[in-house]
């Protein structure tokens, strides 16, 4: 790499509603502390009927374009595992909604929750080949499990958009990475299902095995030592998973994983995820955003990121924070996006889950419900119709 390449800007969007997990506990009789303490989750984002992965993605990407314009963007990489179409990329809708150049490639990437990291690394490669270009990377997902299943407490939804560029304002993506792929059937969603199949316990152990193997690969390739990192971000299906993962890493290195150590290393990265819930491809980057918004100055310091996508592919990589990065954060906007969600009861959540889009070609006008700058307005001729809020 001749010029430093990395994350020039990062923006977050989440859905309209939030259900406190006390509501889920009221419905299913669980002790709420199983969720608050055992899983480390207080609430989960629930999208409105006029929101989906495209509207969330466009809401995140719009903030990037408003600040930096579209010049130099020739690639839009959209990572998701809750895709809305088996053929057409969700990136094409975003290109149209936010007015990105027609002279661009707009594609969707998939490997469960790992897709966002693959998009980021591919973007770095594109910019390395031509440092004049900037790549818009979007990770957007709505995590939805079967009703009354074990996974229901780990739902949520969010999108994170990142502008990847040479000489970035925020963070340089470091070259050394650790990789791990293994064929594991821990979580998957066949084409005919709208919710995934999951072996919860296997998924946790597969994730932890991936932490160990990716770290070993990273170390073997000359990566930094644990003590050289100022922060650790993990993919967070639920925030307690980050504790389990970091414990595994520390123990691997012969370091005692005390409660104080885990709190010090992880707490800033879990604040947003604790409220949003799982956001699959976006989750790691929600955690990174939370770290940036809740840390002391990380100027010049390195942060380790661990990405896990069931099935499974994992990557341990790192970024080095650019001095002065704090002037470019969106802390107030990010906090507001989470705080302004409308609290809902379990009954309201259930009614939202009962709402489904037609699959038989019939027409549907979707009522305006969310405050999102972009809405799903209709289903017509088997197509999703979107509009910017100002255009309605």
**How far apart are alpha carbons 83 and 300 in whole angstroms?**
37
In angstroms, give the least distance from the CB of 8 to ligand CAA: 27
Active site residue 235: yes
The yes or no reply on residue 306 touching ligand CAA (CB under 6 A) is no
Number of Cβ atoms within 10 Å of the Cβ of 33: 11
Indicate the residue whose CB is closest to ligand CAA: 38
The yes or no reply on residue 113 touching ligand CAA (CB under 6 A) is yes
Active site residue 113: yes
Q: Are 189 and 197 in contact (CB under 8 A)?
A: yes
In angstroms, give the least distance from the CB of 22 to ligand CAA: 13
C-alpha dist (Å) from residue 384 to 50, 58, 343, 375, 379? 10, 14, 27, 10, 5
In angstroms, give the least distance from the CB of 113 to ligand CAA: 4
Question: Where would I find the beta strands (DSSP E) of the chain?
Answer: 5-14, 17-20, 43-46, 73-79, 105-109, 134-143, 156-166, 171-173, 178-181, 187-188, 197-198, 229-234, 302-309, 313-321, 342-344, 364-365, 374-380, 383-388
The yes or no reply on residue 241 touching ligand CAA (CB under 6 A) is yes
The yes or no reply on residue 239 touching ligand CAA (CB under 6 A) is no
Active-site annotation holder among 8, 16, 235, 243: 235
Stretch that binds ligand CAA, among 12-20, 151-159, 288-296, 335-343 (CB under 6 A): 151-159
C-alpha dist (Å) from residue 328 to 133, 185, 269, 303, 324? 20, 41, 18, 17, 8
Active-site annotation holder among 23, 81, 108, 315: 81
The yes or no reply on residue 54 touching ligand CAA (CB under 6 A) is no
The yes or no reply on residue 205 touching ligand CAA (CB under 6 A) is no
Enumerate residues 70-109 that contact ligand CAA by CB under 6 A: none
Active-site annotation holder among 8, 108, 113, 243: 113
Residues in the interface with ligand CAA (CB under 6 A) total: 26
The yes or no reply on residue 200 touching ligand CAA (CB under 6 A) is yes
Just list the catalytic residues: 81, 113, 235
Q: Residue numbers of the site for ligand CAA (CB under 6 A)?
A: 31, 33-34, 37-39, 113, 150-151, 153-154, 187, 198, 200-201, 203-204, 207, 235, 237-238, 241, 278, 280, 308, 310
């Amino acid at each position: 790499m001749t010029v430093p390449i990395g994350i020039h800007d990062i923006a977050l969007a989440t859905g309209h509603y939030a259900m406190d997990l006390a509501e889920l506990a009221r419905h299913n009789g669980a002790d709420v502390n199983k969720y608050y303490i055992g899983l480390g989750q207080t609430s989960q984002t629930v999208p409105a009927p006029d929101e989906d992965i495209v509207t969330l993605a466009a809401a995140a990407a719009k903030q990037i374009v408003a600040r930096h314009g579209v010049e130099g963007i020739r690639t839009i990489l959209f990572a998701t595992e809750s895709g809305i179409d088996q053929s057409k990329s969700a990136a094409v809708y975003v290109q149209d909604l936010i007015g990105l150049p027609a002279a661009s490639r707009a594609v969707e990437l998939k490997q469960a929750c790992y897709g966002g990291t693959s998009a980021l690394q591919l973007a770095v490669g594109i910019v390395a080949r031509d440092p004049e270009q900037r790549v818009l990377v979007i990770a957007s997902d709505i995590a939805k499990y079967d009703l009354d299943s074990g996974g229901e407490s780990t739902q949520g939804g969010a999108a994170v958009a990142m502008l990847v560029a040479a000489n970035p304002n925020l963070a340089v993506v470091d070259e050394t990475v650790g990789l791990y792929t293994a064929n594991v059937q821990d979580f998957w969603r066949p084409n005919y299902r709208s919710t995934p199949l999951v072996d919860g316990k296997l998924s946790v152990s597969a994730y932890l095995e991936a932490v160990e193997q990716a770290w070993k690969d990273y170390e073997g390739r000359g990566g930094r030592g644990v003590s050289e990192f100022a922060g650790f971000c993990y993919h967070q299906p639920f925030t307690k998973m980050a504790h389990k993962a970091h414990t595994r890493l520390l123990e691997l290195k012969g370091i005692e994983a005390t409660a104080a150590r885990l709190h010090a290393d992880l707490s800033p990265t879990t604040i947003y995820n604790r409220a949003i819930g799982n956001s699959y491809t976006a989750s790691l980057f929600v955690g990174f955003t939370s770290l940036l918004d809740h840390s002391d100055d990380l100027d010049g310091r390195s942060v380790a990121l661990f990405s896990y996508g069931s099935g499974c592919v994992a990557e341990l990589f790192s970024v080095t924070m650019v001095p002065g990065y704090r002037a470019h954060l969106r802390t107030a906007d990010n906090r507001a996006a989470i705080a302004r969600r409308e609290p809902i009861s379990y009954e309201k959540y259930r009614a939202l889950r009962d709402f489904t889009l037609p699959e038989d070609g019939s027409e549907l006008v979707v009522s305006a419900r969310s405050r999102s700058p972009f809405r799903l307005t209709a289903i017509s001729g088997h197509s999703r119709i979107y509009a910017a809020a100002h255009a309605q």
